[in-house]
Structure 1
Amino acid sequence: MALPAQDERTVPAAVLGDLAREPLERTLDGIRTLLDQHPHLIVVYSRALPTGAERRLHTVRSLLESDRIALFRSDLPPLGVAVLARQLRQLASCDLGPGVLASAARLLTHYVHCGAVLNSVTRLDRVPVDLKAHARSWVPGSQFGVLAHPQPQLVRVGPEAVLAGPDFATWMLVAKGQLQSDWIGGHLAPAWRTLGLREAALPAESATWWGTGKLIEFCGYLPDLSVLYQLVASVRQSVCHWCGIDVIGDRCVFCSAAPPDPGERPHGQGEYGAYGASGARGAPGAHEGHEAHEPYRTQENRAPAG
């Protein structure tokens, strides 16, 4: 789902259709057209995406033999994925290289707090649920507040119930499904000291992700472009040893190359020096998931973001 632009600088989103069902040729033509219009593409999708659709993404990237497509698979719930994608669209208007922008998805994920209010947790399998909560799901009128990220948590909705929230100022986005509850606006948002509430349509994948259509999904996030830019710009950048673009973190999202082992000669460097890298084509791990294995390090003595 593509959320409305946060400000006038937010780059428009291109929503890919039903990847698992539409003809491969149509998908190829659509992404080829996007590549003709834009220097690089960052595809953000949920880990809950059907296997066939994810396989289609990798197939298209391989057939196009393009090192300009980054595939980022997120563990966030659907509304959180939509928020993360919009934050990247905001940052796309800044002076950040494509590798840094794509890598920023992992960094910004740490600052997204998302969950839902559910009428039942009997089919919830993405957040740990104990037997007591399962038993309460059968009691008529029961509702549960569930935090999926950053730390899973489950409470039974009530005046005193609260979920652990961010220790920084956020806005809250709320997407209502087939459930009536004022707990988020009346109790959770004040407890999190949110700056305000905004509403959005419920993503189509939410009912599947949460195991029920009777839910209200919510997400606490940083809306200010200047804050997002400052977070990304404060992280130490490095050059991917395989495709040669600037990145942050420990893995390039475009070619999936991790840093070489200490003492290993970087790709493209023989005894006569570097001759350059051609991109992600054939890069080891190019079709693997993108997991962060090393904490981000702050770059010292960097000029403040403008």
Structure 2
Amino acid sequence: MPTAIAVTGPDLVLPSPDRHTPSAAVLQSAVQSPRTYSLDKALTEMHTLIEHHGYVVALCPASAPASVAQRLHAVRSVLESDRIAIVRSDLPPLGLAVLALQLRQLSICDFSPGVLASAARLLSHYIYAGALLGSVAKLDRVPVTLQSHARSWVPGAQFAVLATPRPDLVKVSADADAQLPGPGFTTRLLYATGRLAPAWVTETLAPAWHVQGVTEARLPSDSERWWATGKLVEFAAAIPDISVLYQLVSSVRRDDCHWCGLELIGDRCAFCAAPLPPPSDRPSPPVRALISRGATALPRGAT
């Protein structure tokens, strides 16, 4: 079975693009209140996923209530399992749903669990996530100028906001050609409608970004809180082709975690959170392997 991709809400599960892409596991321990979903149930839920899939990559929004992340870490701690990666993400809700879909697509490839989990950070840089907003007066997740704050009180004002990979904000009006910096590679655009018409996104943004296609999705329940307004159309443009995603992840250098021994890309293991030491300080065998063999001394640079 492929590594399980788990999410903290059903709105983060986009439809599979083909019959090969597995769905994501929705963690009920994150959806339901701890008062109604006990720790024992949460432990059973995660243990079942580990038994069926071997490893679990749990995507958790950085904007989620502290109790959600605390429950995930509590489950991991009680199970004493190094097979659970808790990946926090700053992506807005629809962008996070797209990331979860990409990881689901890659989970059926030949990537090891460590590479798959650490690929989440890499892929996030290639997701252009934003929204068309009717107000930015309360928006605090993207830098907003005082002038934009003042303009958002004007009736009918609309703003195009890009949250990732580089924050940007422009005022949208009929007499101005508002532009957001778009991706320089082939993408597919997903959008979800709140209490604004999607015309600007589908008729102006999509052609300007030269997207391969446009698909409507359901607006995630957390979008209004994330963007601080219900007058919005959320959008996310990302690489849709699994072969391109595979080449992107495959092109990055892989290392072995010096603590748990799993493969990783980037500078930190997604499973045990150990940072990658400088090249001169990297031990040959994983530290935990040495400990299991009863080594009396750790290699230089190990902690």
* TM norm. shorter chain > 0.5: yes
Q: 1:183 to 1:59 in 2, by over 3 A?
A: same
Match status 1:232 vs 2:263 = no
Contact kept, 8 Å, 2:258 with 2:282, in 1: the verdict is no
Q: 1:206 to 1:267 in 2, by over 3 A?
A: farther
| Cross-structure match for 1:198 | 215
Contact kept, 8 Å, 1:172 with 1:194, in 2: the verdict is yes
How many angstroms does 1:260 deviate by? 2.8
* RMSD between aligned residues: 1.8
| Cross-structure match for 1:275 | 290
| Cross-structure match for 1:286 | none
Deviations 1:235-269 (A, max 9, x none): 11111111111111111000001123565473977
Match status 1:57 vs 2:75 = no
Deviations 1:150-200 (A, max 9, x none): 111111113511111001111000011122241011111110011110111
Q: 1:200 to 1:276 in 2, by over 3 A?
A: farther
SS of 2:129's equivalent in the other structure is strand
Answer with 157-166 or 60-69: which moved more: 157-166
Deviations 1:249-291 (A, max 9, x none): 1110000011235654739779xxx63669xxxxxxxxxxxxx
d(CA) in 1 for partners of 2:278, 2:185 = 37
d(CA) in 1 for partners of 2:284, 2:87 = 23
Structure with bigger helix share is 2
SS of 2:26's equivalent in the other structure is coil
d(CA) in 2 for partners of 1:75, 1:20 = 23
Q: 1:240 to 1:19 in 2, by over 3 A?
A: farther
| Cross-structure match for 2:268 | 251
Counterpart of 1:119 (choices 110, 131, 134) is 134
SS of 1:257's equivalent in the other structure is coil
d(CA) in 1 for partners of 2:54, 2:221 = 29
**Aligned positions of 1:49-198 closer than 5 A:** 49-159=64-174, 160-198=177-215
Contact kept, 8 Å, 2:188 with 2:237, in 1: the verdict is yes
Q: Which amino acid aligns with 2:158?
A: Q
Q: 1:107 to 1:9 in 2, by over 3 A?
A: same
Q: 1:125 to 1:267 in 2, by over 3 A?
A: farther
| Cross-structure match for 1:208 | 225
**Deviation beyond 6 Å, 4+ runs, structure 1:** 267-270
Q: Which amino acid aligns with 2:112?
A: G
| Cross-structure match for 2:239 | 222
Deviations 1:58-88 (A, max 9, x none): 0000001111000100111010111001100
d(CA) in 2 for partners of 1:218, 1:269 = 42
Aligned pairs, how many? 275
Deviations 1:81-117 (A, max 9, x none): 1100110000000011000101111111111001001
d(CA) in 2 for partners of 1:260, 1:186 = 48
| Cross-structure match for 1:9 | 20
How many angstroms does 1:20 deviate by? 4.7
Counterpart of 2:44 (choices 29, 34, 41) is 29
d(CA) in 2 for partners of 1:269, 1:251 = 14
d(CA) in 2 for partners of 1:220, 1:268 = 41
Contact kept, 8 Å, 1:268 with 1:276, in 2: the verdict is no
SS of 1:275's equivalent in the other structure is helix
d(CA) in 2 for partners of 1:243, 1:181 = 47
Q: 1:88 to 1:50 in 2, by over 3 A?
A: same
